[in-house]
Structure formats: C-alpha cells, structure tokens
Amino acid sequence: MNRRLAALCAVSLLVSTTAFARFHKTQEFRPATPEELKMTSVEGAPGAAAAILDWVRIDNDLEATTSEYFRIKIFNEEGKKQGDVELTFAPGYPLWGGVHDIQARTIKPDGSIVPFTGKIYDKTVVKVGRNAVKAKTFSLPDVQPGGIVEYRYMRRWTNQYIFNTHWSVQQDIPVVHSSFTLYPYTEGDFSSMFTFVGLPEGKMPTKVGRDRYELTLEHMPALRDERYAPPDETLRARVNFFYLSNDTKPDKFWEKQPTIFAKEIESFIGKSKSADALAKKLAAENSDQKVLLEKIYAHVQSLRNFSFEESKSEQEIKRQDLTESKNVEEVLRKGSGFGHELNRTFVAIARAAGFMADAVRVAPRDEYFFSDKLPDAHQMDGEVAVVDLDGKSIYLDPGTPLAPFGVLSWEKTKVPGIRVAKGGKTTTWGDTPAQETTLAHTSRIADLRLEDDTLVGTITVTFVGQDALVRRLNFVNDDEAARKKALEDEIKAWFPDGATLTLKSLTGDKTGEPSLAVTYDVVLPNIVSGAGSRVLVPLSVFRTTEKNPFAPTTRKNVIYFAYPQTERDVVKLTLPESMSAVTIPSATDLKGGVLGYSAKTTRKGNEVTYTRDANVNVMFIPVENYPQLRNFFNAVATADAEQLVINATAKSSGGMQ
C-alpha cells in the first residue's frame, strides 16, 4: 500500500462490478502435511525465523478486488511475530479502499487447528499524505515455533477508476512458493503493459488466454535489511502493470506527459478574482517583495489541508465537502484544499501580486526513484512552487503544512521536476535544488551535574529546518499531549533505560517557524560506571544507545541518506567539589570528504565541557566505497565511546592526562 497503490491511471472509467468476489481454490485453507510440520528451515535461508510456504495473490480489475492468501511456517521464538498481522489499505481519495473477509487460523506443531475468533482492530499506519494508509490488525492465537499460521482476505476499492497494479514479490522473510494473477480491464480505448525488476532469470509474467497474466516463483530470498538503504519498494523484486491509452507509445510517454500536466495545472490556476483581491490587499500592506511573498505563503499554509488529515468516512467526506476543487477560486471560497490545490493557489496569488511564479510537478523519492523507462505518470505525483525573485529562483512548498519558507519537504529535493510556465505552453525539465546542510540541523545542549552515580540537569534540543519539519509531520494530526509524548519518546530513546524527562518548555511544534525546540529536566541513571576509586562518564551522553549503522563487514545496497544535515552536541558536566577529572577524552577531527566529525573536551575548574559536531553532505554513496565509509563510522564510534575518568576520592593535584 503506499503512494503506488493509489497511483491513478490517466484514464478514469466507470467499472461495473461483477458478482461478489470469492476466494480462489488455490487460496483455500488446508491441513498441514507431515513434511511441513517437520520443517526446521528452508532452502537458501537456514537461519530464518520464519518462511512463507505459500503466497497466492489474485488481482481482478474487473471486480476492483485483490485477494491474498498466506501460509507461514514458524521456526523459532522470533518468528512468532508473524502471528501479528497488519493488512494495509488506502481508505480515502481516490481509492476508498478497505479490507474485508478476513479469515485466519493457527496450526499447532502437532497439527491441531486453532481458528481465529479474536478482535480485528483499525490502525493508522501513515497519518499524513493524500493517500493516507490504514490497516486491519489482529493477532493469531497460540502461535508456536514449529507451527503454521494461515490467513486470507479481500481488499476492495472504488469501482470508478482503473488502477495500475504493482506486485512486490519479495517479503521480509523468505518465500518458498508464490503465485500472482492479474485479470486486467480489457475494454475501452487503452491497453496494458508491464515491466519487472529483480525476478529470477527466465521468470516474467505470462499471458494466459485473453483474460489474465500469471507469474509463479520459487524460493525468493528475503529482502536484506540494511540501515540507510534506498526505500524498500525500490529494492524489492517487483512487477509493474500499467494502463496506457492506445495512442500513447511507451517510449513516447514522457514526451507527451508534460503537456498533460501543464493543461491540468494551468486550467486549475486560471483566473481568480479572489486571488487578485487577496494579492492586492497583501501588496498594500507589504511593500518589501520578499516579505510580501512570505505573507502570501503564510496565508496559503493557513488554509485547511485535506492531504494531511486523518482519513474520513465517506459520510464525513460528503458532510464536510472534502472533495477536490475545480479551480483556485473554489479553494479560496472553501478555505481548504488538497496539497496540490494549495500549491497552485499559492502560484495564482503570487502571479496576481506581480511575481513570476510557476508550479513544478515533481517525482518524490520517499518510496521509489523516478525512472523515465516506466510509463507511469504518478511517479510524478508531487508538486512544489518556484518564484523568481531578485534574480534567483526560490523553491517553496506551500502544499506541505508547517514547512518553513524556503524548505521543501525532503522527498521533493534533488528530484526530477517539470516547471509549467504561465499559460501552460512551455514546460521545462530540471531537478529541484539539493538541500543545503544548513537547512537541516539538530542542536542538543546538556547542562548536567554528577550526583552519586547519576547525571542530573537539563537538556535543550532544537530541530531546525528539515529536521523540524519531519517531526511536525509525524504528529501533524496529534493533540498537544500526543505531540509532547512523541518527542519525549524519541529523546528518551537516546539514553539507557531508566531515564526520566520532565518537560519545561516546547515551542515551534505547530507552526511553520524554522525551529522546533524542547527543554527537559532530566535524571539519567545507568550512564556512569565505577572502577575502584575511579568514576567513568561517557560525555557523548546523547549517543549512549546509538549503534554503528555500518558495523557489518559487507554491504549489498547503495548507501542512501534522505537529506544532508548537521548536528551539534554540547554537554557541560559539573563535578562535585570532592571529585576531579583525571583523564579527558582526546580531541578528534575526522575528514571524510562529504562526511565530517569533530569532538573536543575542555576543563575549567570543576566544569568539563564536551562539544561534538557531525555532518553529512551527501545523499548517495556507492557500495564500492563502503569500506571507506565503514572505517569512518568505526572511528566515530570509537571517539564517541571515549570516557571522562574521574578521581572519586579527592581532587587531583596534577594535570590532566
């Protein structure tokens, strides 16, 4: 489920739903065989915690349904988590989807069967975005190592549109056998085609008769889990089916698509009396052009943004008129709109105020990367705005709530874009700007004192630019208590168990200001350790639970940092009068080209101050450079682990070592 599931074909059709869909005979529950019960591992994955023995998926575009069946063998205690099932779906526009007909059961190691009769819960998986994702969740009973869990369900969506189909044929655990079937929509003035990536040699979907495609796979390995890797959907072996108008050839698709985008965007912007009036009012109040642009931006961001709200029922949607607007005039009349509508509204007001402003259709990179080989317009389902001011092009993101002026949400930076000039007759391809490291910064300041074996004091954490926006969007629909809890949970995880945080202040969590700042009184046990008369304190207190993400000796995937960023930690530690620092951590200065790290410690009287700076000024590092990257982060981990050594019995009369 994700943006791709909601990728709407360029042609919208009214599909007549046939008889009520039923599970296929290949998706029937069946008793466990003696061989299945005896299994302790599967081919090619001897240490796997669990494996999918059989996975059957059938997509039927004639009935607007997908049915899936899973049969999963549990090998050990870790594998028992496969009994906690989460079935995702897109409940809102344009899918209006849902999960139905859930059936499940557990087969115990002795072959006896325990049917699932428990409760199924609704869960919000993704809280933001036009295609917010929800899930049906449930836990199967009596799941044991050696047993099998079995479940099936139907996913249904609106029958008003035809959607592209995407099979991600790889899972997080190995798959022994899988089969996929698509019944495409075959009427109308369009055709279907497919592409695939990562399938075993000689494997590809096969056309069977005139009504379906089929694909059967054996022994698909699990997707390798690596930190700082490209999005999972980019890495998984997959098949993509597309619907195309008969007059559009795949190799000419991206030659024609900009014109289609331009017509849609400029038609929406049109001429708006409300935009003209608002621009005139704001211009009269603000003579400085940059200030005027900021006021226009702030006004648009103040409008209600449907794209970043919790999903609604169909009745709520109708009652609150949460439907797409036809043009800018309607957006301003309603005071609300989806993100792309607000983006175009900003462009309209800016133009009315005399700015050269355009909409830019972009290809977000949060779930997959753009490919001009795929004839899928919804790879480019994002929009930003660009305004020319004082000889420079300023990229803005008014369609993302709480985005600071001049900050694009990270997935829209350094991606292909199509700028649609006023009137729509000219379109220009080009990448959106890469984000500067200064636009994503985290500062963590601690003022602590040592009391027995515990650190006590205050910490202030400030997230700037992109780092602030990411967190605001994570809790954009939460109330104040939930926002505070989310931040506390994140920050508490930086310290060992037992840390206590008491909130003192919180600012910038519900505004588009550059910074989000939070201050806590803290009690931090389980950091200080002792050895005889010596006390050991790691001054990199904010990193005490951090693990080196590049500790493994080998790497399969390219290294991918979502966006460049910097961070600074400053820790001031006040020692009791009866104690004295014997050894302070040595200064470290590492140069890694696009990576940087430095740390130094100073002492003044009974105060020790530690300063740590780190930066990442790159998004992609080739896997061939992994050894150098690993060496760099190993050196960082070593430096972070250095400790302050304190004489716990009396002040030292000598100098520091």
Domain count, the chain: 3
Same domain, 636 and 617: yes
Domain that holds residue 448: 438-647
Which one of 434, 465, 490 terminates a domain?
A: 434
Q: Tell me, what amino acid is at 370?
A: F
pLDDT of residue 375: 87
pLDDT of residue 160: 63
Same domain, 121 and 269: no
Q: Please state, in angstroms and rounded to a whole number, the distance separating the CA atoms of residues 586 and 430.
A: 47
DSSP state of 631: H
pLDDT of residue 571: 98
Task: With respect to residue 6, please indicate whether it lies within any of the assigned structural domains.
Answer: no
Task: With respect to residue 655, please indicate whether it lies within any of the assigned structural domains.
Answer: no
Residues of the chain with pLDDT under 70: 1-21, 91-97, 124-133, 159-161, 188, 310-322, 649-657
Task: With respect to residue 542, please indicate whether it lies within any of the assigned structural domains.
Answer: yes
Give φ, ψ of 371 to 5 degrees.
-135, 125
Same domain, 449 and 421: no
Task: With respect to residue 129, please indicate whether it lies within any of the assigned structural domains.
Answer: yes
Nearest CA to 381 among 328, 426, 417? 417
Which one of 415, 434, 453 terminates a domain?
A: 434
Same domain, 538 and 414: no
Residue 282, number of CB atoms within 10 A of its CB: 19
Which one of 414, 434, 454 terminates a domain?
A: 434
Task: With respect to residue 239, please indicate whether it lies within any of the assigned structural domains.
Answer: no
CB 633 within 8 A of CB 515: no
pLDDT one-digit tens code per residue, 274-307: 999 999 999 999 999 999 999 999 999 999 998 8
SS3 content of the chain, % helix, strand, coil (to 5): 25, 35, 40
Same domain, 428 and 503: no
Q: Please state, in angstroms and rounded to a whole number, the distance separating the CA atoms of residues 200 and 237.
A: 9
Q: Please state, in angstroms and rounded to a whole number, the distance separating the CA atoms of residues 246 and 96.
A: 28
Same domain, 460 and 425: no
Same domain, 198 and 62: yes
Give the CATH number of the domain where residue 355 resides: 3.10.620.30
Using the structure block, give the residue that is written with the tokens 């998004």.
619
CB 199 within 8 A of CB 239: yes
pLDDT one-digit tens code per residue, 28-83: 999 999 999 999 999 999 999 999 999 999 999 888 899 999 999 999 999 999 99
Same domain, 353 and 376: yes
Same domain, 630 and 533: yes
Task: With respect to residue 236, please indicate whether it lies within any of the assigned structural domains.
Answer: no
Give the CATH number of the domain where residue 155 resides: 2.60.40.3140
pLDDT of residue 106: 98
Same domain, 384 and 281: yes
Same domain, 418 and 488: no
Task: With respect to residue 14, please indicate whether it lies within any of the assigned structural domains.
Answer: no
Task: With respect to residue 273, please indicate whether it lies within any of the assigned structural domains.
Answer: yes
SS3 state of residue 194: strand
pLDDT of residue 370: 94
Pairing of strands 588-592, 84-89: unpaired
What's the pTM value of the predicted model, to 2 decimals?
Answer: 0.85
Same domain, 370 and 479: no
